[in-house]
Each structure stands twice: as C-alpha cells, then as structure tokens.
C-alpha cells in the first residue's frame, strides 16, 4: 500500500483502465488532478480552447476505434456546464466518454461559492451516472464504477466531480492490486435466435436494418457474414454507415427523411419484414410510425431492454449485445442451410440492387457558383475507401450522406441525434489524436465551421492534421429550407459586405467572413475554390500542405446561396429537386464486391 492523494489514485485508475489520452482545460479547482497527471506522466494531454471543444474531442476519440474511451477535464463551474452539450451528444449516440470536473471545497458546496455549481444535478439527465465524490477514499471505487458503467449495457458517458479538498486528501491505495470490473452485456439466447430466423424465413422481402450498436459491438464482420449467408439486403442507419461497404451488392441504401438514399427508402418500402439490430428507430430514419411499419413485421434487437417497444411494438424483441445476437443468428442460419431449409433471396436482392443502380441522385452540375452536389462528386473522386469522414448537422451533412461513399466501419463519424453546431472541428481533432495515420476529411457548412473555429489552433499547436471541406453558402441552409413551410426567409442569412475584402474580390466580399484569413490566423492553411474544375487541384494541394506542415487544412468552396436538398416529412413523400438528371448513374461496385 502506498500513501497518495486522491487525485493521484484517480490517475492510477485511469492508467489501469487503459487511458492514454485526455483533452481539457486546467483551472484552479482541478489543478491537483493536473499535478497528479503530470507527475504520473502516462496520460498525454491536449489543451482545448473551449471546454465544450474538449468534450467533443473526447467523443471523436472514442468513436474512432473500438475500445477507446475519451476523457475530458475541466475546472469547476462553467467548465462543467460547458461540457453538458458533449455529454448530451455522447448519451444520445451511446458513446462512452468520461468528464472530470473540479469543484469547490466540500464545506463551500451549496453556499453560492465562486464557480461552485451543482454539476452532478445538472449533468444527471444526460449521463449514465453523474457524481460528486465527497469522501477521498471513495475516489478509486468511483472511477472503477464509472468505467464499468460506461462499458456495460448501452454505452454512455459519466461525469465525476471532484471537490478540491477531496483531490488533495491522502489515503492508502495499492494500484498494483487494482482490476477493472467485469463488463455486463445482455445476450441473445438460441431459442430467441431460432424464433427470429423462423420469422425471417416466413418473409418474402426481408431487410436487415443495422444500427450503431453493431459499430459499438465491433460486429460489422458478423453483420456482413450474416447478410451474405442469408442473402438478405442491409439498410444501415446513419450511425452504422460503413458497417457494410457501400459497394457491397447487399448494401441496400440508407432510409430516412433527410440522410437517406432514394433507393434506400424504396427498398424499405418494398420490404415485408425488418430485422433491426442495434438501432433505435430514430425519427429521422423512420418518419411516422404508421408509414414505416405498414405492411411489414419487425424483430428488434437492442442492448438496452427499455428501447424495445419505445417507438413501436415489434413482433419479437430481443435484449442483447449486437455481436452476440449476430453470432446466434449465424449459427441458426447455418443449421437451416444444413437442413436445406434456407429460403433463397437472390431475386429480392437483385431487385434491391437494381434500384440502387438506377435511383441515384444527380451530382454532375457544372455551374458557377457551385451546387453542393458537385462538391461531393469531387470528394468521391478524390478520396478512397480508407477515408474517414467527420460531420455533424445541416445541409452539408444531409447532402453528404446522400452522395458520399463509405466503405468501412468508423469511417463515418457523425453526431447523430444531438447534432450540435461546432462539433465537427473538435471531433475531427479527437479522431486524429486517436489515429495518427488515418485519412480524415471533415465536412461542414459555414455556420457549423464558425461555431468552434478556435479549436483549429489546437490542431496547429499539437500537430493534428486533417482536411476540412467547408461548403459556404452564407446561410443557415437547413433552417432556411425548413422555413419554406412558414413562407419566410427570416434571420438565417449570414452574408454581409465585408469591408476588409478587396472591392474586386467577388463573390467573397458579399459572403461575409473571410474564412481563409481566420484559418491562417489560427496557424492552419486554407484554400478558396469557386469553380468545379478547381476542386481536384485544391484537394491535392490541401493534402500536400497537411503532409508538409502537419496542421489542419481547410478547403472552402463558394456555393450558390440557395440549393434545396431532397427531404420530406415521410419516407414515401421525399421532395426531390433537380429531377432532370441524365442517364442513370450506376452504383459503385468494386472488383472485390463482385467477387464476394
């Protein structure tokens, strides 16, 4: 046993739980923890420019690879409240992150002390657990329980609040005897798997809806194996995009009101049975329950028992980790094959593939100012299957989901349910910190980019290079499009005549902020693009600068002010724009996919 401070014990537990990276902002009430972290020397730290940015960096870090848990640290008061958006985002998308906050001394709690706020109560609704530790000797156990909770069942975030006197108090602790608690996950039984497969066997046009739980379970290979074994097409949710490669013949497209493919909606609407695995039936995916469920039966597999029946009642619900369920489904499917009972699905799969090959939206617009669709065409041409995209919300994300291609798990890192503006820069930096070699391309509209643009300085300081595509129409584009239903275009224009731009700098002067100068002022590099024929060269230059300077590089594309992106209020009533497309565009199918 060794006598140490509670802060030192906490850092030891972090090390034993596998933490090697943290993001945060020091402050008076958390300085004892920082002193312990510095003394231990085993956890690297990246200094954010905003504590909310640190929380989103932790999210990006977790989302980048299976097993990662991002840690963000801040002082008392506003640091904790700044983290609430990150906690909400992580809770909504089932992402485990650990937020550690400093706090006023225990004797000053609930006495309106400087920067003393009841962060435990504030954070409770958006965490799996929020706790203020009031006894120093409880610190190791609290941190141990935090990791147990983050990893067990449906993953999610935890906040630990540490009063400064608790951090500095000493007690006996032996880190050599510390061991993480076993992780609990519900499991699918063989009987449940047999029932699910028997229902699938009865269907004529079954679909698998693959959710983010498959990504969390690191079970994407099992998903593809099960789909290929049964011949059943797969519709990934936005949180699972990449779980089956876009060029796989059984990848049937995404379904939804916004971030969807025309062929994905059509394939779902033609189905008569849906096997949902690790998904939540989120409203952007389903639209109304009446339209989504009409004429089809459902099996729902989710790690969280209370998710089953929350949106609508399936014919069969199974509380299970997605990976365990898929293993059981595969075993039962093999039994059916051995007995010669597995129903062939080749005709149905061919129908879905035909829709995929003939219902793709148009991107080959050549006008200036550019349409956003043309930008995504250039991105598909420039970036290969290994590219990891990071995005959050807005027309940029919606159009990106409609037009980009994703081929691997965790190569679409997206804030799905919360969608806070400003998430993208910070999350991309967290992804880079987790993986120094991955090709990372972030995607933002101009407003998302402006929200937390200061975090680019973090990328410059800590040498975290990535490429950021900014599509600039000087509008709150998604809100402007939504305002069409109210017959208005009100308070959503970002354009103004920037007096610091040269008179002949058109159209930049009328687009307001000079993003290139701001980015350069933050220590990074930027290029502005006006015409489609400039896109390829700009991307190549950006990637060369990333290699040379090891900083984030921004490619800003000046768009036409108003482009309406396909979306609707029901999956069978999506309003399409730019319908006058040329000949149908074939879906990307690689040689590897054809060989499957």
Residues labelled as active-site residues? 25, 51, 421, 476, 479
Residue whose tokens read 């991309």: 428
8 Å CB contact between 316 and 300: yes
Residue whose tokens read 């101009």: 446
The whole-angstrom separation of Cα 47 and Cα 62 is 17
Give the CB-side neighbour count of residue 174, counting CA atoms within 13 A: 3
Task: Give me the numbers of helices (H) and strands (E) for the chain, helices first please.
Answer: 24, 21
Angle at 345 between CA 339 and CA 347, to 5 degrees: 140
Neighbours of 312 (CB within 10 A): 13
Q: Which of 381, 387, 458 is nearest to 425 (CA)?
A: 458
Tell me if residue 440 falls in helix, strand or coil. strand
Distances, alpha carbon 353 to alpha carbons 265, 290, 350, 586, in Å? 13, 26, 5, 10
Neighbours of 385 (CB within 10 A): 17
The secondary structure of 576-589 as a DSSP string is -------SPPPPP-
Neighbours of 527 (CB within 10 A): 18
Q: Judging by DSSP bridges, how do beta strands 44-47 and 21-24 pair with one another?
A: parallel
* Assigned token pair, 233: 């097409």
The whole-angstrom separation of Cα 242 and Cα 257 is 19
Report the largest interatomic distance among the alpha carbons of the chain, rounded to a whole angstrom.
Answer: 77
* Residue 102 DSSP code: E
- Helix H or strand E encompassing 538: helix 535-549
* Residue 497 DSSP code: -
8 Å CB contact between 74 and 26: no
The whole-angstrom separation of Cα 139 and Cα 9 is 7
Under 8 Å CB-to-CB from 550, ≥6 apart: which residues?
A: 463, 465
């Amino acid at each position: 046993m060794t006598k140490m401070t509670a802060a030192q014990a906490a850092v030891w537990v972090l090390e034993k739980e596998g933490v090697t990276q943290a993001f945060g902002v020091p402050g008076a009430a958390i300085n004892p923890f920082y002193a312990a972290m510095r003394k231990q020397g085993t956890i690297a730290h990246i200094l954010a420019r905003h504590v909310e940015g640190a929380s989103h960096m932790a999210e990006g870090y977790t989302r980048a690879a299976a097993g990662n848990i991002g840690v963000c640290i801040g002082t008392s008061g506003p640091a904790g409240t700044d983290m609430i958006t990150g906690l909400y985002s992580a809770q909504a998308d089932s992402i485990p992150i650990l937020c550690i906050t400093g706090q006023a001394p225990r004797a000053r709690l609930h006495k309106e002390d400087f920067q003393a706020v009841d962060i435990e109560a504030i954070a409770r609704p958006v965490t799996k657990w929020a706790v203020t530790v009031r006894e120093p000797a409880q610190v190791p156990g609290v941190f141990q329980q935090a990791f147990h909770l983050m990893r067990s069942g449906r993953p999610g975030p935890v906040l630990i609040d540490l009063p400064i006197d608790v951090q500095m108090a000493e007690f006996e602790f032996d880190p050599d005897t510390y061991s993480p608690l076993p992780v609990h996950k519900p499991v699918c039984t063989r009987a449940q798997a047999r029932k699910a497969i028997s229902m699938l066997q009865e269907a004529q046009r079954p679909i698998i809806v693959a959710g983010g739980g498959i990504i969390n379970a690191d079970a994407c290979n099992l998903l593809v194996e099960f789909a290929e074994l049964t011949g059943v097409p797969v519709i990934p949710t936005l949180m699972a995009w990449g779980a089956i490669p876009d060029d796989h013949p059984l990848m049937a497209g995404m379904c939804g009101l916004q971030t969807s493919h025309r062929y994905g909606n059509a394939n779902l609407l033609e189905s008569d049975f849906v096997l949902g695995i690790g998904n939540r039936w989120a409203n952007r995916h389903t639209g109304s329950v009446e339209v989504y469920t009409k004429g089809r039966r459902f099996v729902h597999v989710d790690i969280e028992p209370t998710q089953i029946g929350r949106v609508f009642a399936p014919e069969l619900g199974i509380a299970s980790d997605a990976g365990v369920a898929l293993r059981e489904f595969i075993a039962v499917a093999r039994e059916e094959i051995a007995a010669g009972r597995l129903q062939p699905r080749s005709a149905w799969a061919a129908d879905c593939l035909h829709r995929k090959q003939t219902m793709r939206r148009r991107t080959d617009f050549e006008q200036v100012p550019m349409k956003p669709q043309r930008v995504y065409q250039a991105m598909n041409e420039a970036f290969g299957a290994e590219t990891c995209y990071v995005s959050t919300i807005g027309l940029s994300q919606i159009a990106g989901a409609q037009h980009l291609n994703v081929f691997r798990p965790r190569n679409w890192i997206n804030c799905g349910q919360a969608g806070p503006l400003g998430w993208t820069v910070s999350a991309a930096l967290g992804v880079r910190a987790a993986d120094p070699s991955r090709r990372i391309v972030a995607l933002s509209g101009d407003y998302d980019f402006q929200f937390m643009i200061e975090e680019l300085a973090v990328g410059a300081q800590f040498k975290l290079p990535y490429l950021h595509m900014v599509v600039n129409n000087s509008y709150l584009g998604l809100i402007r499009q939504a305002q069409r239903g109210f017959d208005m275009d009100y308070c959503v224009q970002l354009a103004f005549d920037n007096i610091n731009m040269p008179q002949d700098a058109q159209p930049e002067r009328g687009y307001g902020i000079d993003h290139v100068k701001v980015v350069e002022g933050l220590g990074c590099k930027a290029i502005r693009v006006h015409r489609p024929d400039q896109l390829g060269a700009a991307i190549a230059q950006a990637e060369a600068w990333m290699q040379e300077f090891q900083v984030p590089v921004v490619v800003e594309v000046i768009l036409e002010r108003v482009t309406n992106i396909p979306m609707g209020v029901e999956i069978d009533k999506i309003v399409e724009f730019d319908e006058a497309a040329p000949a149908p565009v074939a879906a990307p199918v690689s040689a590897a996919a054809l060989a499957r």
